[in-house]
Amino acid sequence: MENSCKNVYITTPIYYVNDVAHIGHAYTTIIADTVARYSRLIGADTFLLTGTDEHGQKIAQSAEARGKTPKEYADEISGKFRKLWDDFDITYDKFIRTTDEEHKIGVQKAFETMYNKGDIYKGDYEGYYCVSCETFFTEKQLVDEQFCPDCGKPTNIVKEESFFFRLSKYEDRLLKWYEENEDCILPRAKKNEIINFVKGGLKDLSISRTSFDWGVKLPESINEPKHVMYVWLDALMNYITALGYGTDEKNMNYWPAKIHLVGKDILRFHSIYWPAFLMSLELPLPEHIAAHGWWTRDGDKMSKSKGNVVNPKEVADAYGLDAFRYFMLREVPFGQDGDFSQKALIDRINSDLGNDLGNLLNRISGMSGKYFDYKVTSKDVERFHKKELDEVNEILANVESYIYKMQLNRYLEDIWKVLTIANKAIGDYEPWTKMKEGKEDEAMALVALITNIMARVALLLDSVMPEKISKIAASLGIKIDTVTYKKLLVNKELLEDTTITKVEQLFPRIEELLLEQAKPTDVSKTETEEKSCKNESTVLEEDNLITIDKFFETTLRIGTIVEAQEVPKSSKLLKLQVDLGEGRNRQILAGIKEYYDASSLVGTQACVVANLKPAKLMGMLSEGMLLAARDENGLSLVRPETSKKSGTKIS
């Protein structure tokens, strides 16, 4: 493990001030903060940027609806974002607002530079515009001739004078960049989606508006006072204006960004428009543009109308901020959609944090106190436990690569492999037996081995759970800093003599839900009828090809069938109660009646699509789908080769 970074610049999206922060915003920001904390630990000069996007027609309309000026409304919502990140102890170096004067100056300089280069020209625009998405669409892209393909809301035909950016000019250069930089877009599967879009041909981009005035004005040198900049040009420039582009440029040494973190819904803007703008400005391109998935709640899409939106502050207050951070990073591979449930969070707290981590610290304290008056020396660790040390060093040698490739769940998985080695060693070597046999040096070596492993784990987990890890570090008598990191993880040295200090239980066991559950809502009649028609005729019968990015959006889990009944008046459907390890059974209607007797399924396991939106079939709710294969010999459910714990993820 080596420090491979010098300057590290990490950005979140700047969050649009049309609503308060939700779990998706928290997820992005926690990832960014974790990477920034890790970068500082390994000695990198690190700059973390977050902030708010405050211009555009949608903001002006939202403000008017509330009887406020756009600036008053933006001040209010932006303040809530900043307060939440402060409450979450996010270690940002700058919180930028697109209403900042320095930002406006920088954006105007960028516009003027691209204009003088010939990459911006004046023309007329007519197209279908979605106010909610701040995006134009062609007629072919619309749904039912008028609705936005992204959010489903009605579009408006807009015809106005506009300035255009010559996006088409950069088509070949973009494709070359994608080809030559394997990890420029993460996960890699997302890159194929972008490449295919660009290969379909890029049209020049309308980058100014005259139909509203809440935005950054064009430079005075262009003498077009009625125009304001398109919100996406304005917003994307924040990544360089925050470093002083166009003003003092004092922090431009951090450019290019190592990681731009974005949600998958805005990947196209960041991986096509943004690099094209940078090419025009003759600035280096970012190293990674990383797009994460969305979050559902208990398998259902979150929305205000359903009353199931997760408030991240409420969750953190109830279960602890560090536990919430750990859950968000561990629960789902980056790029895939995740599902938040209190039961899953509690399971992580009780099992991973309470049993594996917290209990191991208690055992160190207990053994060192009982046998050695809390004094620990590492002088015989290599003599008796070279095998375990080598295993630990081999695992930890690769963790840094996971951090910067956004594989944070794998980062944590490997750390937990190390904790498993430590916990197993106690059972294998039984220090209590060593003490009875008079082998105090062997018992001490084992306690010191566990202490050294915990010290390395603490260093690596500090970026994930800083508050709890500070207590672990105090207990072990170590400092969480670059010097200790280099000593224990880079040079693989062992701790000097240390004294263990007892600490309170870090992760008390949780036996019941601490927050009120979201209330389930019925699927709309129109959606029900549509899904009923589709599922009755096509379930398990078609082998439709999908792209790899679509596959990674699917959550597959092992389910145990605990009840099975025939559905009256249906020749195809069985009604199943399936345990997915969620604390309740899911009802799934499966079109397998022709091939399976209901009684034969009880107690068996199957592979389940767990994040399928609930639908009603014949008036009954179905909350998932079983996977099956069918040919001329009939249909067979896809099952695990050996029995697995209910809810186990399939990957």
Q: Binding site: residue ranges?
A: 130, 133, 148, 151
Number of Cα atoms under 13 Å in the Cβ half of residue 167: 18
- Helix (H) / strand (E) element for 606: namely strand 605-609
Give, rounded to a whole angstrom, the gap between the first and last alpha carbons of the chain: 27
- 225 φ, ψ (degrees, to nearest 5): -65, -20
In order of 28, 192, 334, 401, 408, the CA distances from 552 in angstroms are: 18, 13, 10, 21, 16
Tell me the β-bridge partners of 559.
606
Contact 161, 145 (CB under 8 A): no
Q: Which ranges constitute the DSSP H helices of 15-91?
A: 23-41, 57-65, 70-87
**Long-range contacts formed by 518-522: CB under 8 A, 24+ apart:** 518/297, 518/298, 518/300, 518/306, 518/307, 518/308, 519/307, 519/308, 520/300, 521/305, 521/306, 521/307, 521/308
- Going by C-alpha positions, the residue among 289, 105, 102 that lies closest to residue 194 is 289
Letter string b/e over residues 157-184, b meaning 16 or more CB atoms within 10 A of that residue's CB: ebebebbbbbbeebbeebeebbeeeeeb
Q: Which amino acid is at 589?
A: L
CA distance 283 to 175: 17
Q: Which amino acid is at 420?
A: T
Greatest distance between any 2 Cα atoms in the chain: 90
CA distance 461 to 481: 12
Contact 646, 580 (CB under 8 A): yes
Contact 184, 285 (CB under 8 A): yes
Contact 30, 328 (CB under 8 A): yes
Contact 84, 311 (CB under 8 A): no
Give the residue numbers of the binding site for Zn(2+).
130, 133, 148, 151
Q: In this structure, what token pair is assigned to residue 234?
A: 């304005």
Q: Which ranges constitute the DSSP H helices of 439-545?
A: 440-461, 466-476, 482-485, 525-538
Q: Which amino acid is at 294?
A: W
Beta strands across the sheet bearing 120-130: 135-137, 120-130, 156-165, 205-206
CA distance 315 to 325: 10
CA distance 532 to 549: 26
Give the SS3 label for residue 270: helix
What would the DSSP string read from start to end of 26-43?
Answer: HHHHHHHHHHHHHHHHTT
CA distance 437 to 446: 15
- 67 φ, ψ (degrees, to nearest 5): 70, 30
CA distance 247 to 459: 38
